Amino acid sequence: MIQEEAEKGKLAYQKDSFKEAEQHFTAALDLLAGVERETGGVLSPPDSDLKARVLSNRGRVRRDGANYPGAIEDFTSSLKQVPQQFDFARNLRNNLLHVLLLLVAARRGVTLSRESPEKEPEILVPLLIEKVPLEDAHRCLLDAKIASLPYKEDTMLMDKAGMILQQRRRKLGSDEVHDSVKHMDSEAWHNLGLSMKDKEGEKSGWHSLETVQVGSQSYSQQQCYVQAVSVDPRNPKPWYNLGLTLSLGDTVQIGSNLYTKQQCYEKFLTLDPTSPYVWYILGVFTERETVQVGSQRYTKQQCFLQALTLRPEYADVWYNLGDSLGVGETVQVGGQSYSKQQCYVQALTLDPKTHGKVHQAW
């Protein structure tokens, strides 16, 4: 029955009967979902391969029927079903980027060919250079990278498209390079850094030892974040992740300035002071008596208070706040006075796992 529905879908697609084709492919996927439920969520390799191909076929139907969000969903889901080194997976990635381009172009009223780019990835070149407005092309490239972060081989295709965009920008001159485009470039570098595997161990500054090739140059995870903040220093996220790559005492050069782990967190909070976690880790990692966030200075204790203002139920912050208090000292939180012992009680009440920390503190 599953194969029969899939074949009916293919025949309808060949006749340009997109609605009928989608119905048959959806019916096949519903039958496969039933098999998946019966087997406890695990499909056999042949059924998994069939699901990938049915999803891909429905994605093509949706693409040609101008249902671009549906097509993106199908191509992305199909990619999860197949080994990433297969040619089929590479074809799916080309389709994913193609559909994203079609989507942003349609939003701008630009009509692009829906010819499949499976055998000719170079179709991206004329699409990006000739047809799609620069800002949309950057946004599309960013969307494609976010959608395909788990699929490492994508970086080669993305980087190729990115280089084309950079060439186009140079030809057009600086007038067309708006702030929003700068931000999108920054986001692309940031997400490229995120796509590289992290190691556990934030306190010792461990991070991915992988490198990624962009054009003729290799970049580490840290260098990706440096590129992100160099392109747009007002983008807060890469400042935080750049801080994670540094050990205490280490510095990283951006332009003519050197930044420590603490200063990266300070930059993040200056741009976005709404993260309780970053206030917390700034308090934990600060090596100086005070830190500078924007135009104000904060002590370690005040960093913890800022975190609790944003998230009163943060157990680890309560523990560290208690640790920062001397015997007999109190602190005001939400209009209420807390001693060292009462901060520890709050931490234990919110998360009993802090028991070991509190026991050591006593």
CATH number at residue 277: 1.25.40
Report yes or no on 115 lying in a domain.
Answer: no
Same domain membership, residue 285 and residue 253: no
pLDDT score of 356:
47
Same domain membership, residue 279 and residue 197: no
Q: Kindly provide the b/e burial profile for residues 147-180, where b requires at least 16 CB atoms within 10 angstroms of the residue's own CB.
A: bbeebeebbebbbbbbebbeeebeeeeeeebeee
Give 111's pLDDT tier (boundaries 50, 70, 90).
low
Question: How confident is the model over 209-223, as a mean pLDDT?
Answer: 77
Between 23 and 94, whose confidence is greater? 23
Same domain membership, residue 243 and residue 283: no
User: pLDDT digit string (tens) for 115-132?
Assistant: 544 444 444 544 544 555
Half-sphere exposure of 92 (CA within 13 A, CB side): 31
Same domain membership, residue 277 and residue 327: yes
pLDDT score of 174:
44
Same domain membership, residue 293 and residue 247: no
Same domain membership, residue 230 and residue 198: yes
Report yes or no on 350 lying in a domain.
Answer: yes
Same domain membership, residue 330 and residue 353: yes
Report yes or no on 215 lying in a domain.
Answer: yes
Report yes or no on 99 lying in a domain.
Answer: no
Report yes or no on 244 lying in a domain.
Answer: yes
Domains in the chain, number: 2
Report yes or no on 209 lying in a domain.
Answer: yes
Where helices occur in the chain by DSSP H, the ranges are 2-14, 18-38, 45-64, 68-79, 87-107, 124-126, 134-147, 154-172, 179-194, 221-231, 236-244, 261-271, 276-285, 300-310, 315-324, 340-350, 355-361
C-alpha pair distances (Å), 252 with each of 38, 106, 246:
54, 42, 8
Report yes or no on 267 lying in a domain.
Answer: no
Report yes or no on 26 lying in a domain.
Answer: no
* Of 126, 225, 127, 136, nearest in space to 178 by CA: 136
pTM over 0.75: no
Same domain membership, residue 330 and residue 285: yes
Same domain membership, residue 339 and residue 307: yes
Rounded mean pLDDT of the chain? 77
Same domain membership, residue 253 and residue 310: no
Can you list the pairs that 338-347 forms with residues at least 24 positions away whose Cβ atoms lie under 8 Å? 343/318, 343/319, 344/318, 344/319, 346/315, 346/318, 346/322, 347/315, 347/316, 347/318, 347/319, 347/322
Q: How many residues are given for the chain?
A: 362
Domain residue limits at 252: 192-258
User: pLDDT digit string (tens) for 7-65?
Assistant: 999 999 999 899 999 999 999 999 999 998 888 888 888 888 899 899 999 998 998 88
Same domain membership, residue 359 and residue 286: yes
Same domain membership, residue 362 and residue 320: yes
